[in-house]
Structures are given as C-alpha cells and as structure tokens.
C-alpha cells in the first residue's frame, strides 16, 4: 500500500475500500440467492471483495497483502456481508442490484489495481493487465466458489471495459496526470460501458461458425 499521507495514497485507499464494499455486496447477494448461511455469505463477500486484490498482490509480490494488515480492509467485507444478510429483502430487485454493484466494483478495481501495479514498478502493459485482473479476479473466484462458470467468460462484455479502464488510468499516470484526476473518469468509463453493455445486450464477437447461444 502506498504511503497514506500522499494524495495518490488517500485516493487509492478510499477507492479500494469503496470497491471492496460494492464487490462484497455482489458476493453476498450471490450467496443469499444460492441460499448459503451467514458464514457462507460472509466468506463469499470477503472473497469477492478482497480476492482480486489478493491475486494482484500475489503476482506483483506485495505480500502480505496490505488488506491483511489493515483492519478496515477486513471489516468492510464483513459489514457488506452483514448488510446483505439482513437487508437483502429490502434491496428489492436483486438481479439489477447484483449487476450494478458488479459494474461499480469493476470500474473501481481496474483503476486501483492498475495504479498499485504501477506503484510497485510494473510497466504499463502488465500494470493494465493487473488492473483487469484485480477487477475480474474477485468475481471469478466468487463464481467458481458458487459453482458457476465465471460471468467474465459467459459472452457478455466484461473483461474489455475493465482492461480499457485500467489502460486509461495507466495512460493518464504515464502522461504525468495526478492519480486523483485520472482515477474517476477511467472508473466511470469502465462502469458506464459495462452497464450499457448489460442494458443494451451488447455482446463480444463470437467465433465464426459457432452458433450464438
């Protein structure tokens, strides 16, 4: 984790916590819909919220992951899990909520993941990929544990917005813009693209000769 006294560090930490919260909500909602119990909800919330960052931290050598040594990072998914557990009926139409939380987490994590990889000395291309992994990793682990093929592979535009959002953030930092200036529009592009893709049913291209499902 970068020095929290710096502006970039504060932005990173704040966005990270927000991303963890919304991703953990999506994990908790999947767990509720799978009829798991309280601890299944907490575990799935935690893995969805922290899993992408763990995968990124393992690959860039940032161990132990910062989120393990900062109680706020550990309490946020617990809080999200409890919120999901108690208030899921009031949350109403879950399908849309899961999709929205997922898209918001996607946008936040692709940016924070890419910025952290840059801060650990990775080049622009690997940093953008680490941003994408941070964004899609938690959801992939969530889907694997919930016993379904990961959303990211299931024919919807998902990985691309994350990669593009991460690439925008990397490009901005490479152009010497402050991280705080870069982060928000890059995240908005990713989340907005993802939400539009869901709403309009945009699909990534399919292999020629294979019928669309």
Which residues in this chain contact a copy of itself in the complex, by CB under 8 A?
31-32, 34-44, 54, 58-61, 63-65, 68-69, 71, 74, 84-86, 88-89, 120, 122-123, 125-126, 129-130, 140, 144-150, 152-160, 203-213
Q: DSSP label at 175?
A: T
Question: How much of the chain is helix, strand and coil, in % rounded to 5?
Answer: 75, 0, 25
Measured from the CB atom, is 11 or 30 closer to a copy of itself? 30
Q: Which is nearer to a copy of itself, 11 or 55 (CB)?
A: 55
Whichever of 150 and 192 has its CB closer to a copy of itself, that residue is 150
DSSP 66: G
Closest separation between CB of residue 32 and a copy of itself, Å? 5
- CA distances 173 to 2, 53, 136, 169, Å, are 15, 20, 22, 6
Q: Between residues 100 and 120, which has the closer beta carbon with respect to a copy of itself?
A: 120
CA–CA separation, 114 vs 66, rounded Å? 15
**Can you read off the two tokens belonging to residue 79?**
């809080």
Least Å distance between CB 158 and a copy of itself?
7
Rounded Cα–Cα distance for residues 161 and 103 (Å): 10
Contact present, 134 and 127 (Cβ < 8 Å): no
Token pair for 57 = 């931290």
Q: Least distance to a copy of itself from the beta carbon of 14, Å?
A: 21
Q: Output the smallest distance, CB 21 to a copy of itself, in A.
A: 18
| Minimum separation from the CB atom of position 73 to a copy of itself (A) | 10
Smallest separation, CB 212 to a copy of itself (Å): 8
Q: Name the residue nearer to a copy of itself (CB basis): 11 or 107.
A: 107
Nearer to a copy of itself, 124 or 185 (CB): 124
C-alpha torsion sign, points 45, 49, 55, 58 = negative
How far apart (Å, rounded) are the C-alpha atoms in residues 202 and 196?
8
């Amino acid at each position: 984790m970068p020095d929290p006294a710096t502006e970039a560090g504060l932005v990173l930490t704040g966005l990270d916590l927000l991303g963890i919260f919304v991703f953990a909500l999506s994990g908790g909602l999947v767990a509720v819909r799978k009829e798991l119990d309280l601890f299944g909800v907490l575990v799935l919330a935690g893995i969805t919220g922290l899993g992408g960052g763990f995968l990124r931290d393992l690959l860039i050598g940032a161990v132990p992951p910062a989120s393990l040594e900062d109680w706020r990072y550990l309490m946020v998914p617990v809080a999200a899990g409890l919120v999901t557990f108690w208030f899921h009926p009031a949350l109403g139409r879950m399908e849309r909520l899961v999709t929205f939380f997922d898209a918001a987490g996607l946008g936040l994590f692709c940016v924070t993941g890419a910025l952290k990889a840059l801060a650990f000395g990775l080049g622009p291309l690997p940093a953008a990929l680490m941003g994408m992994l941070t964004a899609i990793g938690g959801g992939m682990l969530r889907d694997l544990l919930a016993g379904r093929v990961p959303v990211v592979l299931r024919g919807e535009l998902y990985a691309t917005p994350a990669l593009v959002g991460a690439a925008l953030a990397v490009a901005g930092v490479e152009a010497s813009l402050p991280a705080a200036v870069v982060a928000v529009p890059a995240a908005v592009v990713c989340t907005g693209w993802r939400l539009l893709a869901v709403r309009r049913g945009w699909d990534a291209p399919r292999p020629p000769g294979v019928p669309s499902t």
